[in-house]
Structure 1
């Protein structure tokens, strides 16, 4: 997605925690992964996470573990995730496409959302205002926290 700070991840956690119990279940976590077309069985996800639900601190650790460059997402998984955001199929992700998809996932709204243009600018190495697949791959392998 984009470099996510602790506040961003907290909003995602709250959105995922559908029953409001302060934990994200593997089913709730898998729902998000499926939305970005990362296919994991619940058994594989449980093996990765080590338990059936995560509190916010554990969710941060999980996100950090899958966001590091050494987490080697399959090229096909990255391509699928890229295609989720590339709505018009032109090979680029625009700020409008990013905002639309994040809104549909319940992860962005006008009151709490960041400017999607500035999110894209952070990884737009050729300064065309769009993310190509290589820029997207780089973005997916990095995260910042504050």
Structure 2
């Protein structure tokens, strides 16, 4: 089952009345089924925040956007944690810190090897990787 089919299946399960839209009440009910609590007012606010066409309901596209956005946030948080492992000084990965981390991971590299690796993704040419450059490297 591909991702789109999974989204359709979940959306169909959440869409209790089968009208192709999630109402605030359906959103409230779904959260209640998984142990969450949401007042109707909170569900209306959540629906309004996620609703892309302003009709007060969530389409499948709205649901997919919310899930994909949450997944991207989680991915960025994971990358930030990984970046901190390599980081030598505040905000950047140096050739020395990259060599040291690769060594810990069992990969023996020289500082020059690390400079070459960094140079491939060093957009601003400062000889180190900032988080955005690291993110591009990890993509």
Which has the greater radius of gyration?
2
Structure number with higher relative contact order (C-alpha < 8 Å, ≥ 6 residues apart):
1
TM-score bucket (shorter structure) = 0.3 to 0.5
* TM-score relative to the length of structure 1: 0.44
Higher helix share: 2
